Amino acid sequence: VLRVPSYWVLLGESMLSGLGIWIFFTWLPLYFRETFQMPLAAAGFAGTFMLQISVVLGVLAGGWISDRVSANAPHRRMLLYGIFYLIGAPCLLLFLGTPSFTVVAIGVSLFSFMRGLASSNDNPTQCEIVPPQFRSTGVGIMNAVATASGGCGVLLAGFLKREVGLGGIFASISVCFFAAAILLLCGYRFLIRKDIARAQANARAA
């Protein structure tokens, strides 16, 4: 799998998105508690519900969109992947100000929805470029990279919390997803077609 150039693009995306999402999952409830003086239980629920329900809806819609846009052009999955990240990343910049809870809820929900739309293209894209006998290995490596990156991000956010503030940390996550979007769009432009053609040729030869 490591001989497939587009797979390295997916690994880079996994690292960048894992970094951002783990920080969100870990620190968003505390942000709600400290910023809006919410009870701990309410902050914990709000900090996970808004992320999860929006992602679920996004994945459902994203799968439907991806299958139709990419039915006869599987390389378009990576294009959709990058576009949805590019649209979702600016939603996090609202943390730079002093937004109300309603504004934060809308921004986080929109970001999570766009992330769901994007991530529905994750495993399908890998299946287009990785030989069938190595797909589980490919998924395992991607998950490992995302988890390791996320754990490092949570630790780093803890060190930066006092100096930067959670709002600043959350806003900086937009940079991670913008970088992931650019990486995916470059992969779409320069790599994915060749890797899909190679995978299809190998499948016919087998």
> What value does the mean pLDDT take over residues 107-111?
94
Radius of gyration of the chain (CA): 18
Q: What is the pTM of this model?
A: 0.94
Q: What is the pLDDT of residue 119?
A: 94
Please say if the pLDDT value at position 107 is more than 90. Answer: yes
CA dihedral 129, 131, 137, 143 (to 10 degrees): 10
The average confidence (pLDDT) of the chain is 93
